[in-house]
Homo-oligomer: A and B are copies of this chain.
């Protein structure tokens, strides 16, 4: 089992490799880790608190977003959607016809629509609620002063996740992958968000075979391995979390 993350809150100066600031269970960080995995891109991984407000962190990233990439030339790129565009523009072409953001403007619209769906809508309706209640309030109590656990939030998340599973099933009934015939950013973002909820065993996969089978395909990609190795301090994942035949 890997050691508990080193939660840092300072700017690592860029060395020969890009530096990637992320938090293990942050779904937006996980999405970009999957993208970097698909690109076979190496970076020095630095675990950073999602509530980091240290002066040098905010100096490079005024909105305080995660994840953050610091290129070896000092270029800072923060936030999942901006990083996805940037990595496509600087490294995406090498994937050729497996490029994660397709060339055609109409197909790009569909990929970006689903990116927004999962990175914003699913996040607010599901993954953020689960994370706050099941991990962040315990790991970072100082970020939730006076906040007791909120069972209504968990209840809302488990109601909401069902229609998102149905939406995944609706999409893959018409297409091979979420946004079309090939794996794109849409699949990686969606799987990143589901994976966070899955860590706590809160995805009702048994209710939706089509969504489960799509997730199994993404989960079995080599880029997913690092996510399956993540462990939070004192919060173990559900038993099936690492199982490719869940």
Listed in ascending order, the chain A residues whose CB lies under 8 Å from chain B are 62-63, 65, 75-79, 81-82, 85-86, 89-90, 105-106, 108-109, 112-113, 116-117, 121, 167
CB <8 Å contact, A78 and B113: yes
CB <8 Å contact, B109 and A75: yes
**Chain A at the B interface: mostly helix, strand, loop or mixed?**
helix
CB <8 Å contact, A105 and B79: no
* Residue of B whose beta carbon sits closest to that of A76: B109
CB distance from A48 to the nearest CB of B (A): 18
Partner of A121, one of B63, B77, B108: B63
- Chain B residues, CB < 8 A from A63: 113, 116-117, 121
CB <8 Å contact, B108 and A75: no
CB distance from A40 to the nearest CB of B (A): 19
CB distance from A46 to the nearest CB of B (A): 19
| A65 vs B114: C-alpha distance when bound (angstroms) | 13
CB <8 Å contact, A90 and B112: no
- Chain B residues, CB < 8 A from A90: 105
* Residue of B whose beta carbon sits closest to that of A113: B82
| A241 vs B144: C-alpha distance when bound (angstroms) | 40
| A82 vs B65: C-alpha distance when bound (angstroms) | 20
Q: A62-B117, A78-B113, A86-B108 are in contact. List 18 more A-B contacts (CB 8 A).
A: A63-B113, A63-B116, A63-B121, A65-B116, A76-B109, A79-B113, A79-B116, A81-B81, A81-B112, A82-B112, A82-B113, A82-B116, A85-B85, A85-B108, A86-B105, A86-B109, A89-B105, A89-B108
